[in-house]
Structure 1
Amino acid sequence: MEQKYLYQALPFLRELDKRRRELFEAYFETAPVWLMDSFQIEVLEKGVTFVRENTPVETVYIVGQGSIRAVDYRIYGIAYDFMRFDGVYAMGGMEVIMDLSEYRTTLETVTECTVIKIPRAKFERWLKTDIRALKQEAKLMGEYLLEQGRNSRAYLFLQGADRLAMLFTERYQRYAKQDVYRIRSTRQELAEASGLCVKTINRAVKKFQDEGLISREGNSILISREQYERMQAMVSSVVEQE
């Protein structure tokens, strides 16, 4: 009954691919009806900041469709895009588990997004009354923090082209379709994601193109499976990867 009710509460699920639908079904497997009754669906345009660091946590957000990014502006006011979310993950869930009253990061939409909004009080009640949900949320939070920590340590030592290559390989693993990853990000967006300056990004992109590690199609950068594997080998020669 609950799964049928989930599709009534979130009708856009029928538009998702099978894998993503299954992720939602697994995430909300034990969700009670009163929680699903609290869901609000909102469509946000690209480039919208919908959570700001240090503001009160009143709502937990889950991305239904689209992609968002976590951005840090604390150092010299420079935007650093340190994590992207396109899976089933509760933004604000970490703050709930850690009893934090304010969001610890700023969140912006990378694409047009369909988001699920859940009142904090309802989400917190669910975790307190469902051990499976609490364990699931703790596991997702731990995986996120582990990935973020590992990436941050790697970026600390990588410079220039190596750092951009690591970013490209990570993005390929997550977003490639039919063995091709199409990058439509501007040079400024790549700078914010890598922590490099635009001038360094331009030099690295030219280097990759000269070496055949990327291809161009109009304003887009393309990375094929073969190019990804070569770039991955380059990154692995510097950073030991699992």
Structure 2
Amino acid sequence: MERLFQNCTEDVKYYMTLTEIEADQTFIKAGTDCTHIFIVLSGKVTGVEWPVDARAYPFKDFGPGDFFGEIECFAGLEHYRISIVSSTRCQVLSIPVSCYMDWMRMDVEALFLRTQENISSLIAQTAEARKYLFLEGKDRLMTHLIRKFEQRQPLPAALELKKTRSQLADEIGFSIKTLNRSVGKLAELGLIQLRRGKIVISREGYQQMKLYVEQQVNGRNFTGYHSTEQEE
């Protein structure tokens, strides 16, 4: 960040604003005018897709150093593509789009840094999306539960998910039948517990799921949890 901002324009310095945002606040709404570039300085936020069926799909967590609104500006788009919701209390820096783009046009090194970062991020996101599509049901559920657990900072001893099965199915993109089957498998393996129908994740269960998912993504074997059956 120091390297990026070392030659920023006076307009950027004057008009940029530091804002404290409480948890569970939507500070970027998909489809609205792209007026500011937002940079997360602390805390965590979640990207949310709003497809044509109008159901929200949280798809990725972001943190310090992540930019929002920038790709839209570089692509000449007038509206934000996704919604951004604060998962925790955050500090966010906002810069008016006009000031930011004038700066990028004048500062070759800053433009190069941001272009390099955006291309790297897009390549990584594309690779993650391909891997996610090939995960079986219980593995996709594990990935989602890990993300939910890590949204709590510091990490809790245990986390009980308050959402209904229907809400979880919508978030992951499952049918209720597939979700229930996947929940049952994780419960049988001792990775989660069920309390009055709600999913409870212990710290130990989180750590086991985290290890499994990391090794699955890296293509290594993990004794005890591997399954080759196909999900709906």
Q: TM-score range by the shorter chain?
A: 0.7 to 0.9
Corresponding residue of 1:208: 186
Query: Of 142, 158, 165, which aligns to 2:142?
Result: 165
Deviations 1:6-56 (A, max 9, x none): xxxxxxxxxxxxxxxxxx334434334442222212222222222222221
Higher helix share: 1
CA contact (8 A) 2:41 2:90 kept: yes
Deviations 1:148-193 (A, max 9, x none): 2222222333331021234456x49x87989999766544675455
**Quick one: distance in 2 between partners of 1:168 and 1:136?**
33
Matched, 1:28 2:10: no
Query: Of 33, 39, 47, which aligns to 2:24?
Result: 47
Which ranges in structure 1 are unaligned for 5 or more consecutive residues?
A: 1-23
**Quick one: distance in 2 between partners of 1:184 and 1:86?**
23
Matched, 1:195 2:173: yes
**Inter-CA distance 231–56: structure 2 relative to 1 (3 Å threshold):** closer
Query: Of 71, 82, 85, which aligns to 1:105?
Result: 82
Matched, 1:232 2:214: yes
CA contact (8 A) 1:57 1:102 kept: yes
**Quick one: distance in 1 between partners of 2:177 and 2:162?**
13
**Quick one: distance in 1 between partners of 2:93 and 2:108?**
22
Corresponding residue of 1:81: 58
**Inter-CA distance 139–190: structure 2 relative to 1 (3 Å threshold):** farther
Letter in 1 for 2:186: F
Q: Find the residue that maps to 1:107 and give its secondary structure.
A: strand
**Quick one: distance in 1 between partners of 2:27 and 2:154?**
32
Corresponding residue of 1:137: 114
**Quick one: distance in 2 between partners of 1:86 and 1:178?**
14
Q: Find the residue that maps to 1:101 and give its secondary structure.
A: coil
**Quick one: distance in 1 between partners of 2:79 and 2:101?**
14
**Quick one: distance in 2 between partners of 1:213 and 1:133?**
45
**Inter-CA distance 141–114: structure 2 relative to 1 (3 Å threshold):** same
**Quick one: distance in 2 between partners of 1:104 and 1:94?**
9
Query: Of 93, 100, 122, which aligns to 1:116?
Result: 93
Determine what percentage of the aligned residue pairs are the same residue.
Answer: 25
Letter in 2 for 1:81: P
Report the aligned-residue RMSD.
3.5
**Quick one: distance in 1 between partners of 2:23 and 2:113?**
29
Deviations 1:71-104 (A, max 9, x none): 1121422211122211312211111211222111
CA contact (8 A) 2:44 2:151 kept: no
Question: What is the aligned length?
Answer: 213
CA contact (8 A) 2:30 2:50 kept: no
Matched, 1:152 2:129: yes
Which deviates the most, 175-184 or 208-217? 175-184
CA contact (8 A) 1:175 1:181 kept: no
Corresponding residue of 2:230: none
Taking structure 2 as the reference length, the TM-score comes to 0.73
